[in-house]
Amino acid sequence: MNDTGMTTTPADTTVLPGPETGYERPNYLNAAYGLRSWLLTRDHKRIAILYLISVTVFFAIGGLFALLIRLELLTPEGDMVQPDTYNRLFTMHGIVMVFFFLIPAIPAVLGNFLVPLMIGAKDLAFPKLNLASWYVYNVAGLFTLWSIAHGGVDTGWTFYTPFSTHYSNTYVISAALGIFISGFSSIFTGLNFIVTIHRMRAPGMTWFRLPLFIWSHYATSLIIVLGTPVVAVTILMVAAERVLHLGIFDPALGGDPVLFQHLFWFYSHPAVYIMILPAMGVVSELVAAFSRKPVFGYKVVAFASIGIAVLGFLVWGHHMFVAGESVYIATVFSVLSMLVAIPSAVKVFNWTATLYEGSVSYQTPMLYALGFIGLFTLGGLTGVMVATLGIDAHVHDTYFIVAHFHYIMVGGTIMGYMGGLHYWWPKITGKLYPAFLSRLAALLIFVGFNLTFFPQFILGYLGMPRRYWSYPPEFQVLNVLSTAGASILGVGYILPLFYFIWSMRYGKKSGDNPWGAVGLEWDTPSPPPTENFHTIPVVTHGPYEYNTKEVHDRTSPPEARVG
């Protein structure tokens, strides 16, 4: 008896004694002990946890840089660090956050764990490649850490030429190599997801019965495979110019530094969709589960993911409106950039429509989902603003842009990541975390975030440039507010670190489906057995079937004290 019409043996939970007897069933966590069993695992679930540890470390490092930036910006004068040092701070903050946290986090942690479970497979298509992806990520991380240990890089995470190729006196190559190698890690994951989703769905799991989380990760993987190699080869050219003096972008030889920007942004714009699409996938799952309703307009949302992935490749020039690109192509990029907002907006409308007349409960994951919807909307609307040539000419390279992308990256992606972690934590660990603390953290994050970044919209609009180590005194009040917000945000992020770790040892056992959610991943025990399903399910209807009487009778709304 389960929620997706599994017609074979009864649900796994009835076969063995349940958690209430204290007997610990075989699952992927207790299947084997010891460092080797983890470091040489091929189990996608264990690899997801390995990634969880790695991305958390890099998130902390990136956050540390953010803290230092905000401390410097408490006062108008540059008084905490040297201007060169400030350049290194924001560069390393960007590199670490973008390449070592935002891009891998949701796909490599939640995606790795859930994709096989959600489609009814035993593992990803290429388990060894999956493990390799984690190792490659860490090697890449080592190069970046080496670069940090030797003073960091000062080019901005965007590595614009000719500064990065000629004039920077920092260890550009090692940081660039770190990014180059991390690209392979990303590609291995994306490739794995695409093949898995195409070839390893359970019987009856047709494309339009897939959870939207899967559609999002599929679209993300397409972007990864098509875009990442371009930034890789571009970094290679920068390295060739720096080390071998092969001046591809050197104006003295007739080269064009702006050509670097075309190649860089061809990937780096779609990269932002790599960062947001998985979070959108999480939000779709959360909104359905905590409204106990199917997502409104499922097919539209699914196609919107693909639409975002495709259109996202056609707008990169909006990063170069004032860089000297052709005014004709700038106009085209402007229009296309507005078009790409449409599928994202459609998703927001559909999530809202899902909530309407749903049986909404406000557990911690739902708090993050709701936060996402609001903050992502603000970030997205300001995106349409800066897609407008006239506005961007004014706000480019100011804090308006910084605020815009942090609303998407932090208000969007990180909220999605946190929501997903909180939702699937019982599935991953079989444990519950303290409800009060988790809601407090969510609140702190929401308040802290807005206090940090909303003032930055105003600052940017008033003309405060980004990447400057000092600013005119009239901007101080807003900067102080922003730094205050950042401190609160920091506390909000540290709390989960403590209660999640606490929950692994002392948390209450969650039971297999504490949220009463519908989905193949919830039809298997929490934590799942190594092989995911004792018998592969046969799927007979779509996801989010909360509204059928059969399902209604068998599942119960999430208990108030859960999460």
Partner 1 sequence: MIDTHGSGAPAAHDDHHHPRLQHHFDSLEQQKESSTLGMWLFLVTEIMFFGGLFTVYVIYRYAYPKVFAASSHHLDVLWGGINTAVLICSSLTMALSIYAAQINKRKLIVVFLIATILLGATFLGIKTVEYMDKIKHHLVPGFGLHFAPDDPHLQGANGQHAQLFFSLYFIMTGLHALHMIIGIGVLSVLAVLAWKGRYDSSYYNPLECTGLYWHFVDIVWIFLFPLLYLLGAHAR
Partner 2 sequence: MAHHHDPKRTLLIYFAVFGALLIGTLLTVLAAKVDLGMMNDVVALGIAATKAMLVILFFMHVRDSTRMVALTAMGGFLWLAILIGITLLNYVTLETVLQVPGK
Residues that bind partner 1 (CB under 8 A): 121-127, 129, 187, 190-192, 194-195, 197-208, 225-230, 232-234, 236-237, 240-241, 244-248, 252-256, 259, 262-263, 539
Which partner, partner 1, partner 2, none, binds residue 232 by CB below 5 to 8 Å per kind? partner 1
Q: How far is the CB of 49 from partner 1 (least distance, A)?
A: 19
Which amino acid is residue 501, in one-letter code?
A: I
Residue pair 254/286 in contact (Cβ under 8 Å)? The answer is no
Which partner, partner 2, partner 1, none, binds residue 154 by CB below 5 to 8 Å per kind? none
Using CB under 8 A as the binding rule, whether residue 259 contacts partner 2 is answered as yes
Using CB under 8 A as the binding rule, whether residue 317 contacts partner 2 is answered as yes
Using CB under 8 A as the binding rule, whether residue 262 contacts partner 2 is answered as yes
Which partner, partner 2, partner 1, none, binds residue 175 by CB below 5 to 8 Å per kind? none
C-alpha span between 403 and 453 (Å, rounded): 5
Residue pair 3/118 in contact (Cβ under 8 Å)? The answer is no
Q: How far is the CB of 247 from partner 1 (least distance, A)?
A: 7
Q: How far is the CB of 461 from partner 1 (least distance, A)?
A: 36
CB-count exposure of residue 21 (10 Å: 0-12, 13-18, 19+): exposed
Which partner, partner 1, partner 2, none, binds residue 326 by CB below 5 to 8 Å per kind? partner 2
Q: How far is the CB of 452 from partner 2 (least distance, A)?
A: 36
Least Cα distance to 382 among 326, 467, 330, 456 occurs for 456
- Between 131 and 148, name the residue whose CB sits nearer to partner 1: 131
- Between 107 and 312, name the residue whose CB sits nearer to partner 2: 312
Among 132, 226, 236, 389, binds partner 2 (CB under 8 A): 226
Using CB under 8 A as the binding rule, whether residue 512 contacts partner 2 is answered as no
- Angle between helices 476-506 and 44-72 in degrees, nearest 10: 150
Q: In 3-state terms, what secondary structure has residue 470?
A: coil
Using CB under 8 A as the binding rule, whether residue 324 contacts partner 2 is answered as yes
189 backbone φψ class: left, alpha, beta (φ>0; ψ -120 to 50): alpha
Q: How far is the CB of 321 from partner 2 (least distance, A)?
A: 12
What is 514-541 written as a DSSP string? TT---SGGGSS-SSPPTTS-SS-----S
Which sign, positive or negative, has the C-alpha torsion 546, 550, 509, 213? negative
Question: Which region, judged by CB under 8 A, interacts with partner 2, from 171-179, 257-265, 367-375, 473-481?
Answer: 257-265
Tell me the β-bridge partners of 46. Answer: none
Among 27, 71, 127, 256, binds partner 2 (CB under 8 A): 256
Mark residues 195-214: x for contact with partner 2 by CB under 8 A, - for none.
---x----------------
Sequence-ordered list of residues with C-beta below 8 angstroms from that of 556, at least 6 positions apart, any chain: 516
Q: State the residue for tokens 């919107």.
A: 304
Residue pair 71/483 in contact (Cβ under 8 Å)? The answer is yes
The reply to whether omega before 162 is within 30° of 0 (cis) is yes
C-alpha span between 332 and 318 (Å, rounded): 9
Tell me the β-bridge partners of 193. Answer: none
Which partner, partner 2, partner 1, none, binds residue 17 by CB below 5 to 8 Å per kind? none
A 10 A CB-CB count for 208 gives: 11
Which partner, partner 1, partner 2, none, binds residue 314 by CB below 5 to 8 Å per kind? partner 2
Among 36, 254, 357, 390, binds partner 2 (CB under 8 A): 254
Which amino acid is residue 313, in one-letter code?
A: F
CA-to-CA separations, 343 to 111, 312, 350, 389, 417, in angstroms, rounded: 22, 11, 10, 21, 21
Q: How far is the CB of 47 from partner 1 (least distance, A)?
A: 13
Using CB under 8 A as the binding rule, whether residue 325 contacts partner 2 is answered as yes
Which partner, partner 2, partner 1, none, binds residue 121 by CB below 5 to 8 Å per kind? partner 1
Span 263-302, contacts to partner 2 by CB under 8 A = 263, 266
- Between 226 and 342, name the residue whose CB sits nearer to partner 2: 226
C-alpha span between 285 and 213 (Å, rounded): 7
Q: How far is the CB of 491 from partner 1 (least distance, A)?
A: 41
Please give the residue ranges that form the binding site for partner 2 (CB under 8 A): 198, 226, 230, 251, 254-256, 259, 262-263, 266, 313-314, 317, 324-329
